[in-house]
Each structure stands twice: as C-alpha cells, then as structure tokens.
Amino acid sequence: MATDGGTASDDLTPTYREEGSFERDMDYVPDRITKDARTPEHGPTDVRLWPVEPGRYRLVAAPACPWANRSLIVRHLLGLEDAISLGTPGPTHDARSWTFDRDPGGKDPVLGIERLQEAYFARFPDYEKGITVPAVVEVASGELVTNDFPWITHDLFHEWRDHHRPDAPDLWPDECREEMEEVMERIFTEVNNGVYRSGFAGSQEAYDDAYERLWTAMDWLEERLTDRRYLMGDAITEADVRLFTTLARFDAVYHGHFKCNRNKLTEMPALWGYARDLFQTPGFGETVDFEQIKAHYYVVHTDINPSGIVPQGPDPAVWQTPHDRAGL
C-alpha cells in the first residue's frame, strides 16, 4: 500500500523542518480490524489484530476533516452503515480534542463522551499525541482501536467484504493495484498534503516550493483526467476517494486560506468536471458539509485567520451543475 502518513486531523500546532517546511506527523495507533483477526496480506502485521464484528465498533469521523471524509465515503459506498455506527464530532475543535458539541447534550449518543480524547485515554491513559479523526472505537469498552486513517479505509474494503452491499464497487481492483498505489502516493504527497505544505509553510522559500509542487501535480491530474472518467479508468476506486476530499475543499478553503491561488478548481475543465461527477455520485456529495468545512479551517486555524471570520462563498450550488463526463 502506498505510504499515506500524516496527522489525520488538521494540526493546531504544525511542526516544521529547519527550512520552514511543514512536516506532517506520521505516527498512529496502527491496530487493524481484520476478518477473524487474521494476519492481513498487506500493511503492518506486528500490531494488535481485532476481529471484524458488526455492531462492535463505532467510526468517529468529523465531516469537516478531509482525512475523515474518506472513511465516510467508503463506509457509504460499501453499504456498511448497519455494520459500523457513526459518530460525528463538530468542526471547531480546540487544542485538546474533537468534541461532540453538535450532539444533544454535547455527548456522542452511543459512546456517551464529550471529547474523542476520552476514548484515546481509555486505551492509553498517558496518550500525549494529537487526538485525530477518523478513529475507530470499540463501543463496549469505549477504547480507541485505531486512528490509522489510510488503513481504516483499506480494511473496510478488504476485511469487511462479508458485510458489503451486493453491488458495492471494487475500490481496489487487482488488475491496476500497482499503478493505483503509485497514483495515490503522488496524490497524497503532492496534493492531499501539498495544500497543507502551502498553508502551513513557515518561510517564503518553503511556501514557494510547496506551491510549485502542488500545481505541477494538479496539472498532471488535469491532463490525466482529460480522456478518462476516473483516475484508473472507467470505474471509481480508492484513488478517487482520496483525491476527491481535497478537491471538495479546494475553492472553499485551500485557494484562499492556504494560498493555493494560481487558479480555482472551477477554472480547470477536466478536474472540475471530474469533481462534480464524483460529488453527484451517491456516497460522495452527501458526505460533504461546506458549512462545517469552512467553520473548521477558518475558526480553528487562528494563526492563519486570527479574526475567525468565515467567508460566505463560494455558492455550493455549482457542484450540482452538469459535468458531461459520462461518455469518457
């Protein structure tokens, strides 16, 4: 599997290399949920293995966060809503933790906690790292199982197959897996994380480098998607899920807030058509909450936006306009 490390939420206190470039934390709780707690073929195996068991786990995923948004999409595409329940923290967490401030009484209705931090501490009382989403929590114990977000979606597909809906898409096709790994690696390093390297750059030189790398990759994607409907051809894969969550936030947040402003997504014909195509596909658009997305970035990142003012635009109605990509 392509390396996809990084803090799964948006850091309040970014860390930097000496030259001022943003460096994403790559250390997670790496436990895996596998069928019958088996040793998986791919990925880390020297970890605690938990068995697939419908109803045992709760996915905690804030709609505001792009890394968590992946898991929301995959859970929906595979039809796992009845097998894995969902908790949704609000968008404006503080330095301590994501909170369930939008639930009645400010508590998750299943876990009964106010802060996701409580599930981390239930498993690791001395946990010192950031409290990130997505996270999988064991309902009975209230303990964190894993927050290793790239493997969460990987295992939802490979290990929970017995509980997928009958017409669930093949998100990891064997015939193109090697190429897909390479595509996802470039998307993560240059686009998913590239917007953060621009937004959290600590020097002009670091920003300039991040900006150039981002737009080189965006131009590569524009070309790649000019004559193919999806990244790997004519069917949606995990690669499309991973790219979509960044594109969905691009004009609303990354263009201005993170200074990724060479042009807007709406000004790139292939990428904009592709993004709308996915948005209008069941499982994608309904997981996107632009109000929460904007509230998260513009309120939480006080170092970038000290006023806390949240912009009104852009108009989300543009995402429902025709994309004309079905014939590719």
Alpha-carbon dihedral 191, 192, 194, 199, rounded to 10 degrees: 130
User: At 199, which helix (H) or strand (E)?
Assistant: helix 194-199
User: At 60, which helix (H) or strand (E)?
Assistant: strand 57-60
Cα(159)–Cα(57) distance, integer angstroms: 14
| Cα-only R_g, the chain | 19
Among positive and negative, which fits the CA dihedral 153, 159, 162, 166? positive
Cα(10)–Cα(12) distance, integer angstroms: 7
Contact predicate 113/107, CB 8 Å: yes
- Name the nearest CA neighbour of 19 among 298, 209, 178, 243: 209
Helix (H, G, I), strand (E, B) or coil at 145: strand
Where b means 16+ CB within 10 Å and e means fewer, 94-132 reads: eeebbbbeebeeebbeebebbbbbbbbbbbeeeeeebbb
Catalytic residue, candidates 28, 57, 65, 211: 65
Catalytic residue, candidates 196, 207, 211, 298: 196
- Name the nearest CA neighbour of 87 among 76, 97, 102: 102
DSSP state of 272: H
Taking 3-state DSSP, the helix, strand and coil percentages for the chain, each rounded to the nearest 5, stand at 40, 10, 50
Contact predicate 149/71, CB 8 Å: yes
Instruction: Give catalytic status of residue 65 as yes or no.
Output: yes
What amino acid is encoded at 221 in this protein?
L
67 is an annotated ligand-binding site residue:
no
- Cβ atoms within 10 A of the Cβ of 200, count? 24
DSSP state of 230: B
Instruction: Give catalytic status of residue 196 as yes or no.
Output: yes
Report, as residue numbers or ranges, the catalytic residues. 65, 196
Residues comprising the binding site for glutathione?
Answer: 98
Q: Extract the annotated binding site.
A: 98
